[in-house]
Amino acid sequence: MLEAFFVVSLFLVYILLWKIKQVQQRSLTGIDPQVMQKSTTNVQRFMGQFTNALTVYAAIIILIHAANLQWGSLFSRYEAISFMGIDIAGFVMGMTGLSFCLYAQIKMGTSWRVGIDEKVKTQLITTGLYSLIRNPTYLGLFLLNLGVWLIWPTWTIFLLNVLFFLFLEIQVRCEEDYLSSTHGEQYSDYKNRTKRYLPFVY
């Protein structure tokens, strides 16, 4: 029961963060930051559809895990790490990840987008945590997903993590190409002195 409370709480906070930021940004600028599905490029439209599919998948497997349903070994916990201490560590990791996401939303201000905004040239943010890594939001989402897997170490959660990692690795490269073409040498210099997710590592 506590496992379900941890994961559902993380999922609800995640949704709340995005929805509050979306409403605030619409109110301040009149711009909906959810731009991925509105893209004119096939790749970004596909990524938007893939995002929706992943969200549905995540919601379904969270409900299945919370209801403690079983189907073969897909929803069986890996026993070696299925105990309260790991559950708490997973929850703390998930909340830490969401804190990174919140930081990124605040730091980016009205430049924050979900996807590539092809209509508005947003400001390039390079200070604070962004002086070390280019994607605090994505780092936060990786930590969130890993935290959920620690709480529910099953094959279906592992698959979610793999799909999510591949999705972000593709998306981040699309964004880097766009920012390079939009901000030119300023972004190239910034990219050369920072890492994608982990300071001094990658």
CA distance 153 to 46: 29
Residue with structure tokens 């439209």? 45
Please give the average pLDDT of every successive group of 10 residues along the chain, which has 202 residues: 92 94 92 86 90 93 89 84 94 98 95 89 94 96 97 95 95 94 94 94 92
pLDDT at 26: 92
**Are the C-beta atoms of residues 74 and 156 closer than 8 Å to each other?**
yes
Q: Domain limits of the chain?
A: 2-12+43-192
From residue 76, give the alpha-carbon distance in Å to each of 71, 99, 106, 154.
Answer: 8, 29, 38, 6
Residue 41: the pLDDT is 86
Between the alpha carbon of residue 103 and those of residues 5, 100, 167, 176, the distances in Å are 24, 5, 22, 20
Domain 2-12+43-192: assigned CATH number: 1.20.120.1630
**28: number of Cβ within 10 Å:** 10
Alpha-carbon gap, residue 123 to 120, rounded angstroms: 10
pLDDT at 13: 96
Q: Which of 32, 57, 31 has the alpha carbon at shortest distance from 159? A: 57
- Six-digit token string for 152: 């529910």
Q: How many Cα neighbours within 13 Å face the side chain of 153? A: 13
Inter-axis angle of helices 2-29 and 84-108, to 10 degrees?
0
